[in-house]
Amino acid sequence: MTRIEQEEAPQNTSKVQELESEIEKLKRGLKRKQGKKAFGCSSCLVIFLVIVITLVLLLLYFVAKSGVKEIPYFSQRFYQEPVPSHYVAEKEYTEEQKNILLLLKNKIVENTQGKSNADKIEFSLDLPEELLTRIIQDEINKNENLAQKIDYIQLAINKQNIEIFAKNQEPSNIIVTINIEPRLENDYIDLKVVNFKLGDLSLPSFLADASFVTIAEKIFNSVIRTAAEKGKIEAVNLDQGVISLDLIINNFQDFLNDNY
């Protein structure tokens, strides 16, 4: 080996060692990055699984709470079968007794005795919840689609609002509770939904079944429409078990001559 080669040998060895050191650093850096990447993927997977499990548990909770389907554990833990604010007594009525317009006419006769020269009369027409429940049951029976679904329905009147309570036939047994407030607008009764429950689950009021509300409006507005043609609706009042309509009838003789 020449003198020049002997002088260059240590330098080459030093460069090789530096290269080996750099390679080792690169290997360690690559392993750390791979480890972080694996940890990141694992974290994403865990988060995804947590979200999916949470959504599934929430879905099971809502289904159980609504009573739509019995879910093991969830139904026993979270569902309590709803009951109405109070049960409306069953009472039979004749067809004439269920004719609200005829009731209105009879009420006018009662309040006009000895007032044949009067231009108008003012009085209150009281509609008990037993009568309204029987009428709404008859309306349900006229609707083939609803009649096949509804096992029981009642219309209970409280001081705060009117409660429609309906239970589906088996096997579903779904229970619907709708609370409505009657409001007089432009001589007609508008029924505003203030509470809606499917089973034991409270839902936004705009999701309330419009079928029941429409039938109730039809019952009330059959009187309102006639009264509005002949006079004016002054107020709609709620008391326990009864709704009272304050009416003013003009030209009541013409009204009495109409056939209902």
Quick: pLDDT tens for 33-79.
Answer: 555 554 456 678 888 888 999 999 999 999 999 888 888 988 899 89
pLDDT at 163 over 90: yes
Q: Which two tokens stand for residue 46?
A: 């865990």
Any idea where the domains of the chain sit in the sequence?
1-79, 100-257
DSSP H/E element including 215: helix 210-230
Q: Which two tokens stand for residue 251?
A: 């030209």
Distance CA 70, CA 74 (A): 8
- The model carries a pTM of 0.75
Task: Report pLDDT for 4.
Answer: 45
**Percentage helix, strand, coil for the chain under 3-state DSSP, each rounded to 5:** 50, 25, 25
pLDDT at 154 over 90: yes
Task: Report pLDDT for 18.
Answer: 64
Tell me the pLDDT of the chain averaged across its residues. Answer: 79
- Of all residues in the chain, what percent carry a pLDDT higher than 90? 28
